[in-house]
Amino acid sequence: MVAKLDGTNGLLQSYDYQVPTTGFSYTFAAGVQTLILNPAGTLATGTITMPAAPADGMVITFSSTKQITSLTVAANSGQTINNAIGVLAAGQSMSYIYRSASTAWFAFTAALSGRMLGNLLAYTASYLIIAGGGGGGGALIANYNGAGGGAGGLLSGTNTLTTGTTYSFVVGAGGAGGGNGTAGTQGSNSTGFSLTAIGGGAASTAANTGGSGGSGGGSPNGTAGSGTSGQGFAGTGSSGGGAGASPPVGGTGASGGIGLQSSITGTSTYYGGGGASIFGTGGSGGGGNGGSSGVLATSGTPNTGGGGGSGLAESGFQQAGSGGSGVVILSVPTANYSGTTTGSPTITTSGSNTIIKFTVSGSYTA
């Protein structure tokens, strides 16, 4: 169809209507100047190619009802194209005009509603970044018990995401629990948005100082490790459990520090509990339990950043629990969610938001 002037309806524009899937490739045919794309959902990739024999002054326009996250706009053979866009937002239209003397296409107009323009440029995401928990301290028979490992550091807040930008996240591993008379190891850091959540401090042995970290590791008879300001608390120095998002209580049978309660997923959940001393219960938020008569210490719960529980000075039960691995959780408006991720995060929805939960390292392209 070509454009024509109709006495009743005015100028009728030639157009083509397509329902593409991701990875589509479309070339404008002769006589078509407008392309309407109506995909079922957000498309990761697609290609639009200009017509082969355009006339001087020809204007080509295309639009999409859903976002195309990575769009290739290509010239045809013997042509060039200036200012080719790489992302087409939902509701956006884009036009190019052809100049035959230059054998080139030039950006002519980009139309967006105010809301779509805001969506194209940036939107706000909430985040929760938790590091790996520290390992508990191992016990030495007839000498001393262990101590609880510190929880991984916790960071929460909001960040502005720019459409088309890829954001990478690292999820820290939990630290190993100590064995017969050995200290635990510190948890690994988790990172995202240029922020670093510090791994939980390792629990020490005997009178040695507990390891510092996001939250500090405990010490059986010495000084506990310190926490990182804004991420956690210090441990305790009397067989105390490592600190979570609140200070622990020292002594035999003491629980680990209580973790942070967050509703970022739509369900109120504790994260970052401290590891307990012997006979104690791990702090709410995945902290490991301390060893007790005939019962081994437990590790921090995976993807909570909980600290490992303390080993017991009893034959066969000296081994302390390892720290739980960390996690990174994003909450973005579903209207802006691109669907482009790596690392196989768990995707859920809560109200008007899409929740992206990284249990291993990965990325999200806004």
pLDDT in tens, 253-275: 577 889 999 999 999 999 999 99
Q: How far is CA 186 from CA 41, 134, 222, 271, in A?
A: 44, 5, 18, 17
Reported as a pLDDT band with limits 50, 70 and 90, residue 63 is very high
More confident residue, 80 or 109: 80
179 and 306 housed in the same domain: yes
Considering the chain, what is the average pLDDT of its residues?
88
Q: What local confidence, expressed as pLDDT, does residue 238 receive?
A: 59
Q: What amino acid is encoded at 307 in this protein?
A: G
More confident residue, 316 or 297: 297
The answer to whether residue 56 sits within a structural domain is yes
- Lowest-confidence region among 28-37, 61-70, 247-256: 247-256
Q: Check pLDDT > 90 for residue 166.
A: yes
128 and 211 housed in the same domain: yes
* Alpha-carbon span 5 to 17, nearest angstrom: 21
| Tens-digit pLDDT profile for residues 299-350 | 999 999 999 999 998 888 899 999 999 999 999 999 889 899 999 999 999 9
170 and 96 housed in the same domain: no
The answer to whether residue 179 sits within a structural domain is yes
Q: What is the mean pLDDT of residues 91-113?
A: 83
90 and 127 housed in the same domain: no
Tokens representing 70 are 């990575």
The answer to whether residue 26 sits within a structural domain is yes
333 and 204 housed in the same domain: yes
Q: What local confidence, expressed as pLDDT, does residue 316 receive?
A: 85
Q: What local confidence, expressed as pLDDT, does residue 144 receive?
A: 82
21 and 86 housed in the same domain: yes
The residue from 56, 77, 112 where one domain ends is 112
> Which residues 6+ apart lie within 8 Å of 228 measured at CB?
153, 198, 212, 213, 214, 215
Q: What is the mean pLDDT of residues 102-109?
A: 89
Q: Check pLDDT > 50 for residue 251.
A: no
Q: Check pLDDT > 60 for residue 209.
A: yes
The residue from 93, 112, 131 where one domain ends is 112
Q: What percent of the chain has pLDDT over 70?
A: 88
134 and 75 housed in the same domain: no
Q: Which structural domain range is residue 37 located in? A: 4-112
* Alpha-carbon span 221 to 1, nearest angstrom: 86
The answer to whether residue 117 sits within a structural domain is no
